[in-house]
Amino acid sequence: MKYYIKTFGCQMNVSDSERIAGFLEKPHLNPMPTGRQALLGKERRLFVPTKDINEADLVIFNTCGVRQMAEDRVYGQIHNIRKQEERSKNKGKRRIIILTGCLADRKDVQRRLKDKVDLFIPIDKFFKIENLKLIENCKLKIENLTQKKQSCDYLNIAPNYTNNDSAYVPIMTGCNNFCAYCVVPYARGREISRPVGDILKEIKNLAKKDCKEIILLGQNVNSYRFIDKNSSLPAGRQAPLKPKKIDFPKLLDSLAQSFPKINFKFLTSHPKDFSEELMKVIAKNKNISREIHLPIQAGSDKILKAMNRPYTQKHYLDLIKKAQKIIPDASFTTDVIVGFPGETQKDFQESLKVFKKVNFNEAYINKYSPRPGTAAYKLGDPITLDEKKRREKVLRKLVKTR
């Protein structure tokens, strides 16, 4: 059976797709949490990848709900697949379509695509598919797969890395921040940090393969927090005396020290959690990237407040100044939204001001689009697309000219 994965959105989705590929191709190798190896072991190489969607028997859409455009592309492509099947002479062949990622749990999406998609399944439940033959026979029942308990066990599925020299390693999933425009806390749930031991195991495997760069991933990597109950076990004792709290600076420092031949990057950070301790860890370790991605999202304090981003322009600029002092060769990239409801010309000028001051190496400039289920959705979309495009162009010029 041939499969094809279409991935939309951020690096987390790319990393999740690598795990889906690993799951489908090498199920016998995967460290499933509850002893499912025996069952999966019978199904070696049930699936092989294809680069041609037309050849695939199984098509997986790993979706993104952050922007309307990405969502529309999913609808369009699924619609085209089904249309093409109807037109085809070989009418008996209907591909199995699975939809996972950010849109999988949205009821309006499920209603809209119910006749076209065979299975809607959130990413952390994807790997609960116990019998892959059920996919082949198209006999999956979603009720059996959607236990509500959130988990990050799936991150331990051995991935098929797209690039063995530069690999994504997720260290956490979900988000607690509820920025007013963002679907992530609804789509991925609350923050869960991956156990240190699991992260180390994955990185050790990559080091053996001579991996040169690792990008640590999470919706908000710098709020990583894990309590390691085994870390301070004295020899021969059964119970830990004092569990060790490991936050992101400690994790990053120990990874950089343990794997000196690997360069580390991390994505993405929230300004409220970007600590001086983290800056010092970066400064101390030459194998941590000096390019820091720090999303500003808006320059105006009024808009930041409306976005539920708990910092001000001054706090952001002070952080940049402090980072430049502690890490003299630091450079910065950012994310910014133009046209958030209520963003006046005066507010936009504040974003411009930040761009002029910071000298960003790169900026991901997003035109606001209201997302169902988010707090900002009820504010509508009062700023025209033309005006958003104009603001985007103004900011873009500032990044490009540097």
Q: Residues in the site for ligand SF4, rule: CB under 6 A?
A: 175, 177-179, 182, 184-185, 219-220, 270
Residue with Cβ nearer ligand SF4 (95 or 194): 194
Q: What DSSP designation does 297 have?
A: B
Of 222, 320, 316, the C-alpha closest to 278 is: 222
CB of residue 376 vs ligand SF4: minimum separation in angstroms? 11
* CB contact at 8 A, 338 and 354: no
CB of residue 179 vs ligand SF4: minimum separation in angstroms? 3
> Residue 20: which H helix or E strand, with range?
helix 11-25
Q: What DSSP designation does 376 have?
A: G
Residue with Cβ nearer ligand SF4 (65 or 159): 65
Residue with Cβ nearer ligand SF4 (128 or 309): 309
Residue with Cβ nearer ligand SF4 (310 or 382): 310
> Residue 246: which H helix or E strand, with range?
strand 244-247
* CB contact at 8 A, 108 and 65: no
| Residue 100, strand partner residues | 62
Residue with Cβ nearer ligand SF4 (175 or 358): 175
CB of residue 217 vs ligand SF4: minimum separation in angstroms? 12
Residue with Cβ nearer ligand SF4 (27 or 218): 218
CB of residue 239 vs ligand SF4: minimum separation in angstroms? 36
CB of residue 101 vs ligand SF4: minimum separation in angstroms? 14
CB of residue 377 vs ligand SF4: minimum separation in angstroms? 14
Of 143, 72, 63, 70, the C-alpha closest to 104 is: 63
Distance, in Å, from the CA atom of 124 to the CA atom of 20, rounded to the nearest integer, reads 10
Question: Contacts from 22-28 at CB under 8 Å and sequence distance 24+?
Answer: 22/157, 22/158, 22/159, 22/160, 23/126, 23/127, 23/157, 24/58, 24/132, 25/49, 25/160, 26/158, 26/160, 27/132
CB of residue 315 vs ligand SF4: minimum separation in angstroms? 15
Residue with Cβ nearer ligand SF4 (185 or 249): 185
Residue with Cβ nearer ligand SF4 (207 or 375): 375
First-last CA distance in the chain: 50
CB of residue 10 vs ligand SF4: minimum separation in angstroms? 9
Q: Cα 269–285–280 angle (5° rounding)? A: 60
What does the block give as tokens for 352?
């411009």
